[in-house]
Amino acid sequence: MPVRVLFQFGTRPEAIKLCPVVLHLRSQPERFDVRVCVTAQHRSMLDQVLGAFGVTPDYDLNLMLPGQTLFQSTSRMMAALEPVLLGVDGWKPEVAMVQGDTTTTFCGALAAFYARVPVGHIEAGLRTGDLTQPFPEELNRVLTGRMADLHFAATSWAAENLRKEGVANERIWVTGNTGIDAVLHVKAGLEEGRLQSGVDWSHLDPAKKLILVTAHRRESFGAGFERICQALGDIAERPDVEIVYPVHPNPNVMETVNRILLGRANVHLIAPLDYVPFIDLMRRAYLLITDSGGVQEEGPSLGKPILVLREKTERPEAVAAGTVKLVGTDREKIVAEANLVLNSAKMRESMAVVHNPYGDGHASERISAATLSFFRK
C-alpha cells in the first residue's frame, strides 16, 4: 500500500521548498498517496507559487487575517488542523511533512504529534543558538525538531546540530536543501526558454549595477528597519547603481520603506514578485542585500554575492564559503560592505563563485528514499 503523506505549509518560502518534493512523491503513486494542506499564512504570495508549480491543495484552511498576531494565528491554525490530522474525512496521514520554521511548521508538527502521526521535518537542524534571532522562527524550529520522527537536514552541519541535541543518527538524513531543487529547476527553464518571467525589465538601466533587496524580518521592525532603509538610501546616492526592492505587504515594512525610500532616485519599490520573475531578477542582479533565509540559500547557486541584514544566521555554511557576509542592521556597516563589493571587482568575484553548500538539486529524491526506508523498517 502507498504511504499516506500529508504536506502542511502556509507561506511562500515553504511552498517553494515543498512543491518540488510534492511533485516528486506524486510521480510515484505506487509508493506514495500524497495530500497537501495549506494554512494560507501568506495568502497571495502562497498562491502564486502553487500556480507556478501546478500544485492544488487538497485542504485549503484559508486562515489569514489582516494584521493577525502570533497568538491569533497559532490558535486558529491548531483548531483548523485538528480534523485534517485526525482524518475525519476518512483519510488519515501516516506521516505529516513540515518545512523550516514558520508558525505553520510549528502548528503542523504539534497537531500531528497530538494526532499521533509521525512528523517529517524538512530543513531540520538549523540553529543560531539564540531564541530571539530570528524571532519566533528559531523557537519554532527547535520545538518542531523535538516533535519530529524523521529529520531531513540540508547539510552535515545541520545534522551535527541534531546529534548534539540527542537525535538518534538513524533518524537523520542529509538531503541537501529542497529550495535548491526549486531554483535550479526555474533557472534551467528560464535559460532554455521553457519558462518566461512575464515581467518586462526594459526600464532597468543595463549600464548600472543592479542591487536586489528583500527585507521583512520581524526582529528588525522599528529602529533596525529604519537603519536598513537609511542605508539603502545612502547606497542609492551612487550614480552607478539601481536598487529594486519588492516590498513585503506587512504594514510594519511598508510604512518605513515608503516613508524613507519612496521617490528616491535609483530606487524602484515594487510589489512582491512571483517566484519565476524573482529568480529571473536574481539572475540579473550584481549584488543581493537580504534578510531572507531562502535568498541566502539560492544566491550561491546563481553566483551572486550576498549581504545579509541579520546579526546571526542559522545558515553559516555560505558565510564560511565566503559568498555571504553578515552586516546586521547597522547603517554604516551595510553601506561600507556594499561599497566594497561595488567598488572592487576582485572582491565581488571572490564572493560570486558558483558554489552552493546547501544542495545539488536532488534533495527531493533523497527525502523520498528516506521516507520509504523509514516505513519499511
Contacts of 103 (CB under 8 A, 6+ apart): 10, 41, 70, 73, 74, 77, 136, 140
Q: Which three cell numbers stand for residue 132?
A: 530571539
Which residue type, as a one-letter code, is found at position 35? R
Q: Roughly how many angstroms between the first and final C-alpha of the chain, as a whole number? A: 15
Cis peptide before 272 (omega within 30 of 0): no
Q: 12, 24, 121, 216: which one is catalytic? A: 216
Distance CA 149, CA 147 (A): 7
Q: Annotated catalytic, 317? A: no
Q: 14, 137, 181, 317: which one is catalytic? A: 137
Sheet containing strand 150-153, strands side by side: 59-60, 32-38, 3-9, 95-99, 119-124, 150-153, 172-174
Q: 4, 218, 283, 284: which one is catalytic? A: 218
Which residue type, as a one-letter code, is found at position 286? Y
Q: 14, 24, 42, 101: which one is catalytic? A: 101
Residue 290: closest CA among 276, 270, 275, 304: 304
Q: Annotated catalytic, 127? A: no
Distance CA 301, CA 51 (A): 23
Cα dihedral 83/108/37/84 (nearest 10): -10
Q: 227, 248, 315, 331: which one is catalytic? A: 248
Q: Annotated catalytic, 149? A: no
Q: 123, 138, 280, 298: which one is catalytic? A: 123
Q: Annotated catalytic, 24? A: no
**One-character DSSP codes across 242-268:** EEEEE--S-HHHHHHHHHHHTT-TTEE
Q: Annotated catalytic, 137? A: yes
Q: Annotated catalytic, 200? A: no
Residues annotated as part of the active site: 101, 123, 137, 216, 218, 248
